[in-house]
């Protein structure tokens, strides 16, 4: 079958919207006709990556209806609504699921094991999670990356609890999701750090109790002052070198003794450069770790959608811009220019 997708044929080039050819699904694959897709900053990194294979298809969070099911797939059926994501349903070791889907463009195999900037997606059934038809078909798409990444880091990587102090660097879609989950888990204070006052004001609507504009003050010193020596947890939802290096000194130190642990710094944003950290920070029993989609999709997606339905996780407020597929370059330019509060989506 044919579908229409956003395709990059060379590094640093605008995306073109053109036809893809999709073969019949393999036994472990599914085809989903998409209603919507999130527009994630990770795709900008892919578009700038000169070493990645082209032609390339992009996007990894979407909601749609299942139209074709491989013979070995049993958890979804044709007609089911589902979220397409990049985190496998079944916990696995290592990255996994990096093989191309089998879609072709002008008879060339396209790179990308999952893609949602497309009217239809052919992918592994492991990346397709069924949801009830009562859930919205537009804003639910961002559960597939922005929400699972930010909220999952707070909930599953750090295991934040009531009264824990939290700082989140970068308040885009992922950072806002982290803030909202920290608020739901009754952390205090919840400190949002960014360079934009507009984004910081927006962060207060998602549960930030304090804000720090890092263009005006030293954010590490500000967090230390607000928390009396350092946060219990600090999250980097951006992934640039300066924030990579700021989150560890932003958390409290511990000391000698088996249980005298310091705070935890969690890197969520995909880093693009090396970083330098004072090794003495580790000697106070601080922890620095990464979080890569730390979610159990079938369990946690239902939790996120329930929280939205209860008015506790307002996905509708988090989605602030909507585009059509033929506006994908406009959406990418706005995202790269820091013009999007929260998350943008594509609607098909």
Tell me the pLDDT tens digit for each residue of 135-193. Answer: 999 999 999 999 999 999 999 999 999 999 999 999 999 999 999 999 999 999 999 99
Are residue 95 and residue 171 in the same domain, yes or no? no
Does the pLDDT at position 97 exceed 80? no
Query: Residue 71: pLDDT band by 50, 70, 90 thresholds?
Result: very high
Are residue 266 and residue 319 in the same domain, yes or no? no
Q: Cis omega before residue 55 (within 30°)?
A: yes
**Does residue 243 form part of some domain?**
yes
Chain segment 323-338, per-residue pLDDT in tens: 999 999 999 999 999 9
Q: Residue 260 corresponds to which tokens in the numbers above?
A: 């005298």
Q: Rounded mean pLDDT of the chain?
A: 96
pLDDT given for residue 93 in this prediction: 66
Cβ–Cβ under 8 Å, residues 297 and 85: yes
Does the pLDDT at position 81 exceed 90? yes
**Does residue 297 form part of some domain?**
no
Higher pLDDT pick, 93 / 306 = 306
CB neighbour burial string for 112-126, b if at least 16 within 10 angstroms, e if fewer: bbbbbbbbbbbbbbb
Are residue 206 and residue 321 in the same domain, yes or no? no
Query: Residue 99: pLDDT band by 50, 70, 90 thresholds?
Result: confident
Are residue 175 and residue 284 in the same domain, yes or no? yes
Question: pTM of this prediction?
Answer: 0.96
**Count of Cβ atoms closer than 10 Å to residue 200 Cβ:** 19
Are residue 85 and residue 22 in the same domain, yes or no? yes
Are residue 96 and residue 160 in the same domain, yes or no? no
Are residue 129 and residue 182 in the same domain, yes or no? no
Chain segment 231-284, per-residue pLDDT in tens: 999 999 999 999 999 999 999 999 999 989 999 999 999 898 899 999 999 999
Cβ–Cβ under 8 Å, residues 38 and 59: yes
Q: What percentage of the chain has pLDDT greater than the value 90?
A: 94
Does the pLDDT at position 127 exceed 70? yes
**Does residue 301 form part of some domain?**
no
Residue 54, classified by CB atoms within 10 Å of its CB into exposed (0-12), middle (13-18) or buried (19+), is middle
Does the pLDDT at position 34 exceed 90? yes
Query: Residue 94: pLDDT band by 50, 70, 90 thresholds?
Result: low
Distance CA 65, CA 109 (A): 24
**Does residue 273 form part of some domain?**
yes
- Domain residues for the domain of 91 are 2-144+314-347
Are residue 286 and residue 322 in the same domain, yes or no? no
**Does residue 319 form part of some domain?**
yes
pLDDT given for residue 95 in this prediction: 61
Are residue 154 and residue 277 in the same domain, yes or no? yes
Are residue 7 and residue 140 in the same domain, yes or no? yes
Are residue 82 and residue 169 in the same domain, yes or no? no
pLDDT given for residue 281 in this prediction: 95
pLDDT given for residue 329 in this prediction: 98
Are residue 105 and residue 81 in the same domain, yes or no? yes
**Does residue 138 form part of some domain?**
yes
Domain with 167 in it: what CATH number? 3.40.50.720
pLDDT given for residue 91 in this prediction: 78
Domain with 41 in it: what CATH number? 3.90.180.10
Q: What percentage of the chain has pLDDT greater than the value 70?
A: 99
Number of domains in the chain: 2
């Amino acid at each position: 079958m044919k579908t229409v997708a956003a395709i990059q044929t060379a590094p640093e080039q605008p995306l073109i919207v053109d036809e893809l050819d999709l073969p019949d699904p393999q036994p472990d694959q599914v085809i989903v006709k998409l209603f919507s897709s999130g527009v994630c900053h990770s795709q900008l990194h892919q578009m700038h990556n000169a070493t990645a294979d082209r032609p390339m298809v992009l996007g990894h969070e979407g909601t749609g209806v299942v139209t074709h099911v491989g013979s070995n797939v049993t958890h979804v059926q044709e007609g089911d609504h589902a979220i397409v994501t990049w985190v496998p349903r079944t916990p696995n070791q290592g990255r996994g699921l990096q093989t191309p889907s089998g879609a072709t463009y002008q008879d060339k195999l396209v790179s990308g094991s999952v893609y949602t900037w497309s009217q239809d997606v052919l992918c592994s059934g492991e990346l397709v999670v069924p949801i009830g038809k009562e859930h919205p078909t537009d804003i639910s798409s961002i559960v597939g990356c922005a929400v699972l990444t930010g909220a999952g880091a707070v909930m599953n990587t750090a295991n934040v609890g009531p009264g824990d102090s939290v700082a989140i660097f970068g308040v885009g879609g992922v950072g806002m999701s982290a803030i909202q989950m920290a608020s739901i888990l009754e952390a205090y204070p919840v400190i949002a750090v960014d360079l934009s006052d507009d984004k910081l004001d927006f962060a207060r609507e998602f549960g930030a109790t304090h804000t720090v504009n890092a263009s005006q003050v030293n954010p590490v010193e500000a967090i230390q002052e607000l928390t009396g020596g350092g946060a219990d947890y600090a999250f980097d939802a951006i992934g640039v070198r300066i924030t990579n290096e700021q989150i560890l000194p932003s958390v409290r130190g511990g000391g000698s003794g088996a249980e005298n642990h310091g705070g935890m710094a969690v890197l969520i944003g995909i880093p693009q450069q090396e970083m330098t950290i004072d090794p003495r920070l580790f000697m106070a029993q601080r922890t620095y770790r990464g979080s890569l989609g730390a979610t159990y999709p079938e369990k946690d997606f239902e939790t996120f959608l329930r929280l939205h339905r209860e008015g506790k996780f307002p996905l509708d407020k988090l989605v602030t811009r909507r585009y059509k597929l033929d506006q994908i370059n406009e959406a990418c330019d706005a995202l790269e220019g820091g013009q999007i509060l929260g998350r943008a989506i594509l609607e098909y």
